[in-house]
């Protein structure tokens, strides 16, 4: 279960976590994640990708460790 985010504590720094199909990524990235079908991308408010991780939970932890408020995108 995810912990609720207090946006006041993060200073409004929001990032978005979304599922990315490995097949849609460049071949050089695909080669680094054999056997995976999906990864999780963390994007800032401008849409710039900040991170790409193998685990959804890790994407949220990573965002919080860097003082961002993660929001899932479906």
Listed residue (4, 9, 40) closest to 22, CA to CA: 40
Listed residue (20, 10, 9, 8) closest to 52, CA to CA: 20
What's the predicted TM-score (pTM) here? 0.79
> pLDDT class for 1, splitting at 50, 70, 90?
very low
Question: Is a pLDDT exceeding 60 seen at residue 6?
Answer: no
Q: How far apart are the first and last CA of the chain?
A: 17
**What is the per-residue pLDDT across 36-59, written as a single tens digit (0 to 9) for each?**
999 999 999 999 999 999 999 999
> pLDDT class for 63, splitting at 50, 70, 90?
very high
Buried b (16+ CB within 10 A) or exposed e, 35-69: eeeebbbbbeeeeeeebbbeebeebbebbeeeebb
């Amino acid at each position: 279960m995810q912990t609720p985010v207090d946006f006041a504590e993060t200073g409004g720094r929001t990032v978005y976590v979304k599922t990315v199909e490995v097949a849609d990524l460049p071949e050089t990235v695909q080669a680094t994640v054999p056997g995976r079908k999906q990864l999780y991308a963390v994007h800032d408010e401008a849409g710039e990708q900040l991170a790409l991780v193998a685990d959804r939970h890790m994407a949220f932890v990573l965002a919080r460790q860097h003082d961002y408020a993660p929001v899932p995108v479906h």
